[in-house]
Amino acid sequence: MKDSQGGNRGWVSSRFFETSKMITVAGFLLLVISPVSSCAQESQGTIKSSLSQTKVSSPPARSLFSHPTIQEGESCVSTKCHAEVGSAAHVHTPIAQRSCKSCHDLSISTSRFGLIKPDLDLCLGCHEEKKAFFKQKVIHPPVERDCISCHNPHQSPYKFQLESGPSSARLCFTCHDEDDKMEYRYLHGPVESEDCIACHNPHASEYKHLVKKGPQEIQLCDSCHEEIPQKIKNSAFKHGVINEGKCSPCHAFHGSNLTKHWTREFPDKFYNPYDPKLYSLCFQCHEKSQAFYEQFTTLTNFRNGKRNLHYLHVTRQKGRTCIACHDVHASSQERLIRSSTPFGPSNFHIRIVFAKTPTGGTCMMSCHVSKGYDREKPLKLQVDTEPAIERKKPK
């Protein structure tokens, strides 16, 4: 009984001792960890406070421009500083008058180059008449941004203080592709002389592509090609594209690998063996079948009965080309029949008289007797009494 009770007392005593030890260890850990946790919370609060203050207050703006102090009476243009400014052939007036303060704030400034106003506002402050550019329909992109993309604000060896020269094209080609404009065998006169501003306004225009005159293409072209508008004015009949005020369907404005700046192949001789490729300029508008078939009753009124007289004239080894009979711009005769046609190396002009009838017409040239045709009552043609003509068959 004693042993049994003594054993129980020993077991209880042992458990009590173990529990006391665990409580002691736990208390120790709390004493150690609590200050560390408190410190961490305090540190975290400090960091949050610091971040909050950073968002609220920003550092002062950095100076973009800083210039040494200029003493009263001193000049910016001297051997000490900007000695080269003012020495070029074309100098901006404020520079010539040593008036740098007209544009620059010589104290510490946040503006680019210490300008007293933004670039464009600064230029328009003096060149007030240029504000009219912004009222026009088409504005050159550099004009909307600033002026110094093209003009040097201080000086330049080139007129108007241009950044590149000596021709206007040299400046234009700093942005525009030179090869795209100058790669052709035959260049338009202004392009060859690198005179872009002969046709384009470099600042703004009321017309597409910044052209100087419009709204039709022909109005710009007429400003140089004076003989053509005079001819058109005096002619009763005009080519369709001329009536539309267009030149570009036939002529490339900058240049072409074809003579007369044709946009497509076109024979500019009196005689030529027939090949549809040579007439691709005409066939972009006119039906190419006009020359393909020897007989039909549609497509053209130039017929003797069913005989296609275009086929008769054109599809030979020595075929007559379009310009042998037709003027490409305008004529005083119907169907754009020329009043005369150039012939031979000396360009001797053969007179042509064409008269239209209700069902046909007559044609008289100074080199042969009058010839006629009729769609309803075919006439006997001279070609029917001649030996067979060697023809260049259409492809």
pLDDT for 127-168, tens place per residue? 999 999 999 999 999 999 889 999 999 999 999 999 999 999
- 198 and 273 inside one domain: no
Looking at 256, 275, 310, the residue that finishes a domain is 256
Quick check: is 78 in a domain? no
Q: How confident is the model at residue 73 (pLDDT cuts 50, 70, 90)?
A: low
pLDDT of residue 182: 87
* C-alpha distance from residue 171 to each of 176, 181, 190, 193 (Å): 9, 14, 15, 14
Judged by DSSP in three states, 164 sits in: coil
Quick check: is 16 in a domain? no
Q: What is the pLDDT of residues 109-127, one digit of tens each?
A: 667 788 888 889 999 999 9
- 377 and 268 inside one domain: yes
Domain count, the chain: 3
Quick check: is 392 in a domain? no
- Return the half-sphere exposure (C-beta side, CA atoms, 13 A cut-off) of residue 35: 4
Whether 262 has a pLDDT exceeding 70, the answer reads yes
Q: What is the pLDDT of residues 210-250, one digit of tens each?
A: 999 999 999 999 999 988 888 999 999 999 999 999 999 99
Q: Hey, what amino acid is at 115? A: L
Quick check: is 285 in a domain? yes
Whether 173 has a pLDDT exceeding 50, the answer reads yes
Average pLDDT, the chain: 82
- 247 and 268 inside one domain: no
- 267 and 375 inside one domain: yes
- 252 and 311 inside one domain: no
Residue range(s) defining the domain that contains residue 219: 178-256
Quick check: is 11 in a domain? no
How far is it, in rounded angstroms, from Cα 85 to Cα 77? 6
Quick check: is 204 in a domain? yes
> What ranges in 57-167 are assigned the alpha helix state H?
93-96, 119-126, 141-145
Looking at 128, 153, 172, the residue that finishes a domain is 172
- 243 and 331 inside one domain: no
Judged by DSSP in three states, 26 sits in: helix
* C-alpha distance from residue 163 to each of 79, 160, 194 (Å): 24, 9, 16
Would you state the structure tokens that stand for residue 302, as one six-digit string? 């130039």
- 212 and 298 inside one domain: no
Looking at 221, 256, 291, the residue that finishes a domain is 256
Q: How confident is the model at residue 385 (pLDDT cuts 50, 70, 90)?
A: low
Q: How confident is the model at residue 291 (pLDDT cuts 50, 70, 90)?
A: confident
Whether 6 has a pLDDT exceeding 70, the answer reads no
pLDDT of residue 49: 39
- 267 and 230 inside one domain: no
